[in-house]
Each structure stands twice: as structure tokens, then as C-alpha cells.
């Protein structure tokens, strides 16, 4: 049956995450449980003996979509324990969970684990991104003037809000969100570096350091020159940079020799199509058409 996790089960769920997501950990699991985990956001599916079979975190987010702010539910950390897999428990869990979430949220989002699997529950890719693989030697060389190693959360928030004015489909972030983001990247051997002009922050890059390369997971900036300066700095001493961007940003013009792949980032489900159409005064055929209705490019970098 569907249930909320008990406070004393946090360590147990942490253990299940370590087992299920060990291949993509890199410190992110500990960071999540240290900074993001909340008992009231933790759903489980229990067996007859009360043991946890499946679990998921459901975070309530504010989504900016087509110039309106709407509350959505965001599912992450979805798992079924290995000994129960292949027995239909995930289907039962998802059906029960979505039935509950549909009563309160017009839209439910899901990290893009396996799009084909979750299409059975009404999900489809609504936001995609490009992942660029860039040879560090192809980066333009800039000095370090203006580079800021530890930007303040309030300045990161301002840059984020300025950058996202050009997009739709992003989550509204609070000052606390940026404080947590800084702690999260530090826990994953990552950093957030900024660029200032006349002592004003004009861009930032959030990245994770690996052996010989860096992953830039989020970059917000005022103009392409700012992006290039940030990339120049984070690429120092590296062989390559993996840069994730929206599908609208013209990165190939800056780095023509880069290789890129398109990946689904968020899956979406419209829980109440009639209500969505009344709210936005449009007709939609699917979650994809709902998110792409007005042609404005989509941005979303939140995976927690």
C-alpha cells in the first residue's frame, strides 16, 4: 500500500538509494539526504508486513510556464528494491502515487530515467537538453580578471532570474535554494564560479570536477562572452569540458568542433487536461504540446 515514510526510516531509505544508484553517486546521494530530504516528501509502497518495497521523493515546486506560476509535483529517487523487481510493484506504486498527486497538482514531473517505461503512466519528454563535449584546447584563453570563486547566493539568484526571463519551463528558486545548491556542489567535488563586471555578477557556472575533465551542469550568463570566459576558467588543466545547455543556445557557433547529443531531461504528465486548457486558454494534445505551446525555449536544470 502507498504510505509516507516514517522519520526513523530515513537511514534505511538512504541505504536503498546507495544500493540502487551507486553507479551515479559521486557524493550526490549524501548531499541529497543531508540538504534536501524531508520526511513529508518521502513516499513508500509497503508490503503486507509493513516493509518498504518501493520509494520515491516527491517535491513540491513552483514552475514558471508560459508566464504563469503553477505548483507542480516533482518525482525523483524512484526505486524498487532489487528483490522485488519484476513483480509488478513499481506499477502498483506509480498508479497509487499518481492518483494521489493528481488530486492536488495540475502537472507532475519526473526525472528522465527511462522515458519509454514511464510513457505507460502518461509521461513523455517535455524538456530536452544538449550535452556538448568540448576539447579544452579549443577554448578561447582569457585572464582571470573578474572571476569570483564563491559568489553569494543573492547574486546567483539575480543572475538566474535575469537569464531565465528568456525561457519558460523553469523552477522558481528561493535564496535558500541557492544556499543549498552551493552546499550540494561542494559535497559532489564541485564548485560554483562567477564572473563580475564592475563588481557586479553577470554570470556563473556550476560544475563538477572529474579526473581530467569537468562537467558544467548549469551556466547562466548575460552574453556569449561571459559564457566563454567562464568556460575558459573551468577548463584550465583539463582535457575536455562537458557542457549541458538548453537546445536553444547557439553553442556550436562558439565551439564549432564540439560534439553534442540531445537528451531528455524532464518527463511531464498533465494530470487534468481540461483544467490546464482553461488556465492557459489553449487546446493541447499531450504534455509535450502543453510545454511547447507558445514556442518560447525551455530551460530547466533542477534534478532535485
Kindly report the CA angle at 154 between 150 and 158, in degrees rounded to 5? 110
Same CATH topology for 2-127+266-291 and 130-262?
A: yes
| 30, 196, 270 from 170: Cα distances, Å | 25, 24, 16
Kindly state the DSSP code that residue 6 receives in the 8-state scheme. Answer: P
A 10 A CB-CB count for 69 gives: 9
| Phi then psi dihedrals of residue 19, to 5 deg | -75, -40
Domain range summary for the chain, segments of one domain joined by +: 2-127+266-291, 130-262
C-alpha cell at 176: 535558500
- Contact at 8 Å (CB) between 268 and 168? no
The model carries a pTM of 0.93
* pLDDT score, position 57: 94
- Contact at 8 Å (CB) between 63 and 107? yes
Choose the CATH number for 2-127+266-291 among 2.40.30.10, 3.40.50.360, 3.40.1160.10, 3.40.630.30: 3.40.630.30
182 vs 178: CA distance, rounded Å: 6
Tell me, rounded to whole angstroms, the distance of Cα 294 from its chain centroid. 22
C-alpha cell at 274: 481540461
* pLDDT score, position 116: 81
244 vs 218: CA distance, rounded Å: 7
What dihedral do alpha carbons 182, 168, 133, 114 form, nearest 10°?
A: 90
Residue 72 in 3-state DSSP? strand
* pLDDT score, position 273: 96
* pLDDT score, position 112: 72
* pLDDT score, position 28: 78
Q: Average pLDDT for consecutive 10-residue bins of the chain (304 residues)?
A: 92 88 70 85 93 94 97 93 91 96 96 82 96 95 95 98 98 96 91 98 97 97 98 96 98 96 96 96 96 96 80
The pairing of strands 68-80 and 42-46 is unpaired
Residue 272 in 3-state DSSP? coil
- Contact at 8 Å (CB) between 43 and 56? yes
In the CATH scheme, what is the homologous superfamily, with its name and number, of domain 130-262? Answer: Gcn5-related N-acetyltransferase (GNAT) (3.40.630.30)
* pLDDT score, position 145: 95
- Contact at 8 Å (CB) between 73 and 109? yes
The pairing of strands 52-65 and 170-171 is antiparallel
Amino acid at each position: 500500500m502507498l504510505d509516507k515514510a516514517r522519520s526513523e526510516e530515513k537511514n534505511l531509505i538512504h541505504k536503498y538509494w546507495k544500493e540502487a544508484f551507486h553507479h551515479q553517486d559521486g557524493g550526490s546521494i549524501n548531499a541529497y539526504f543531508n540538504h534536501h530530504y524531508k520526511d513529508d516528501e518521502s513516499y513508500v509502497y509497503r508490503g503486507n508486513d509493513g516493509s518498504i518495497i518501493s520509494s520515491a521523493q516527491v517535491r513540491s515546486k513552483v514552475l514558471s510556464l508560459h508566464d504563469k506560476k503553477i505548483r507542480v509535483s516533482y518525482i525523483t529517487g524512484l526505486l524498487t528494491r532489487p528483490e522485488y523487481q519484476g513483480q509488478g510493484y513499481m506499477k502498483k506504486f506509480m498508479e497509487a502515487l499518481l492518483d494521489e498527486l493528481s488530486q492536488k497538482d495540475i502537472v507532475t514531473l519526473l526525472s528522465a530515467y527511462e522515458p519509454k517505461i514511464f510513457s505507460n503512466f502518461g509521461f513523455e519528454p517535455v524538456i530536452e537538453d544538449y550535452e556538448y563535449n568540448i576539447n579544452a584546447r579549443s577554448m578561447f584563453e582569457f585572464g582571470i580578471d573578474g572571476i569570483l570563486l564563491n559568489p553569494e547566493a543573492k547574486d546567483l539568484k539575480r543572475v538566474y532570474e535575469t537569464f531565465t526571463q528568456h525561457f519558460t519551463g523553469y523552477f522558481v528558486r528561493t535564496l535558500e535554494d541557492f544556499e543549498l545548491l552551493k552546499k550540494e556542489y561542494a559535497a559532489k567535488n564541485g564548485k560554483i564560479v562567477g564572473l563580475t563586471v564592475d563588481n557586479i555578477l553577470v554570470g556563473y557556472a556550476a560544475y563538477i570536477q572529474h579526473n581530467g575533465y569537468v562537467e558544467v551542469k548549469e551556466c547562466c550568463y548575460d552574453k556569449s562572452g561571459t559564457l566563454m570566459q567562464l568556460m575558459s576558467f573551468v577548463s584550465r588543466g583539463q582535457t575536455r569540458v562537458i557542457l549541458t545547455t538548453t537546445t536553444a543556445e547557439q553553442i556550436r557557433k562558439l565551439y564549432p568542433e564540439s560534439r553534442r547529443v540531445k537528451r531528455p531531461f524532464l518527463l511531464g504528465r498533465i494530470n487534468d487536461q481540461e483544467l490546464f486548457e482553461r488556465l492557459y486558454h489553449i487546446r493541447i494534445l499531450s504534455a509535450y504540446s502543453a510545454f511547447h505551446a507558445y514556442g518560447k525555449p525551455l530551460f530547466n536544470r533542477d534534478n532535485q
